[in-house]
Amino acid sequence: MIVFTHDTRLQQAISHLSIPATILEVSRQTDSVVHVAQVSDPVDRALDEARAVALDGNLPQEVADRVLPAMCRVALEAAFLEPARRRLRATGLSYLSVEQKIGKARPLTELAALALSDTPMERAQVLEAVARDHGPWARTLIQQCNAGTHQALPTVADRRDLVKSTERLAKAVQGR
């Protein structure tokens, strides 16, 4: 069966129901060149994009400081999404209720809290739980990825290391 759609809910349903499928993305490039690519896992896709930015030697440092942590945060949000959905569904919530709860989780720490616990958690509790489960480096990583939201951006000293650490935590979270 072949289905063409702009609606991302089909891909989410296929993933949620564990239906084996090949999902292709068709995009129009410069000069109307059509590009077809297999859609990868949202975490892998976000990591690939962050990696490309990290490896760009022509990117000014002030741009990397602003963009790269946000891109890594997107990868971590994608990683926490499935464990949050699984945990919430296991509590007996309907699909709609789960999606509404996830939709209300704004910062990364709120989404992580949904993946980690049945009871509400404060930001500090989430960071402590992440550090306990994955090590203090994971807490620091989340803080770095959230930097700039409420304070000045720190310099991303090692762009590649930021992406590697993000990948390490994202894969660990996905394995929950």
Q: How many domains does the chain have?
A: 2
Q: What is the pLDDT of residues 88-107, one digit of tens each?
A: 999 999 988 998 999 898 88
Question: Do 30 and 100 fall into the same domain?
Answer: no
C-alpha distance from residue 74 to each of 108, 131, 145 (Å):
9, 19, 9
CA dist 56 and 153 (Å) reads 19
Question: Do 137 and 166 fall into the same domain?
Answer: yes
Query: What angle, 0 to 180 degrees and rounded to 10, lies between the N-to-C axes of helices 42-54 and 61-90?
Result: 170
Q: What is the pLDDT of residues 64-88, one digit of tens each?
A: 888 899 999 999 999 999 899 989 9
Q: What is the pLDDT of residues 118-145, one digit of tens each?
A: 888 999 999 999 999 999 999 999 998 8
Lowest model confidence (mean pLDDT) among 16-25, 91-100, 144-153: 144-153
Average pLDDT, the chain: 87
Question: Do 17 and 58 fall into the same domain?
Answer: no
Domain membership of residue 161 as a residue range: 42-174
Question: Do 32 and 47 fall into the same domain?
Answer: no
Classify burial at 143, counting beta carbons within 10 Å of its beta carbon; exposed 0-12, middle 13-18, buried 19 or more: middle
Assess contact for 66 and 152: CB atoms under 8 A: no
